[in-house]
Amino acid sequence: MKRYDIFLLDADNTLFDFNMAESNALEIVFQHYGFSYNNDICLKYREINNPLWEEFAKGNITKDEIQTLRFTTLFKEIGVKYNVKDFNNMYLIELGKGSFLIDGALEICKEISAYNKIYIVTNGIMITQKTRIEHSVLRHYISDFFVSETVGYQKPNPLYFDYVFLHIPQIEKDKIILVGDSITADIAGGNNAGIDTCWFNNTGNINNTEIIPTYEIKRLNELKKFINKEKKME
């Protein structure tokens, strides 16, 4: 089994339970503005929001367009009238407070960081991701994080990874593994960058694409087998 010195870990739905944070933030903001909220609204929001992020990964729309379109469309469908910009701004603040972890995230980050380096690679919005990461119990184990908004490119664009590699000292590509839940952003991105990839598939999804990961796991503790324990961190 190959071992790695550098672990590039995706944030949302790999380390952090984004679905829980998303639902929690939506409920808080809807209630703050006096609008009724239920799970159907959350599901409708995801139906709108998720495809927009897929288009962003393809380079077809910007993050600003996502933040406008998702609530404009949602409000129209559920009959709500409010300032989309103000609503979105509060939503991002509440979303950033949601540092809920995927099962096993803390334990695996502790174990990896005892021997190797961890970097977070994410396409999320900077204000949200920075707040979530810096206030998380994981922060102590993370060497750095790279948010596409500040990088200027997003996963799976190879230029995103060029930036990441440039900012990691003494890097050797064959010693890097990228772990993430998204085939189209994480696995495709790692493949484009010429590094090994691991698909975190804890929901049992079927890969119907031609994008093939180097490995596939269902639980984060399976990453233990990739730790290079000869490379102990000081």
Q: Which residues are catalytic?
A: 10
Torsion angle, alpha carbons of 123, 124, 126, 128, to 10: -160
DSSP string, 199-221: EE-TT-----SS---SEEESSGG
**CA 218 remoteness from chain centre:** 17
Token pair 């991105």 is found at 189
Residue 81's contacts (CB-CB under 8 Å, 6 or more residues apart) are 75
Please report which helix (H) or strand (E) contains residue 179, including its range: strand 176-180
Residue 187, token pair as written in the block:
């696995």
- 3-state class of 146 per DSSP? strand
Within 10 Å of residue 202's Cβ, how many Cβ atoms?
15
For strands 215-217 and 6-9, give the pairing.
unpaired
Separation between Cα atoms, residue 217 and residue 7, nearest integer Å = 15
Residue 12's contacts (CB-CB under 8 Å, 6 or more residues apart) are 18, 122, 124, 181
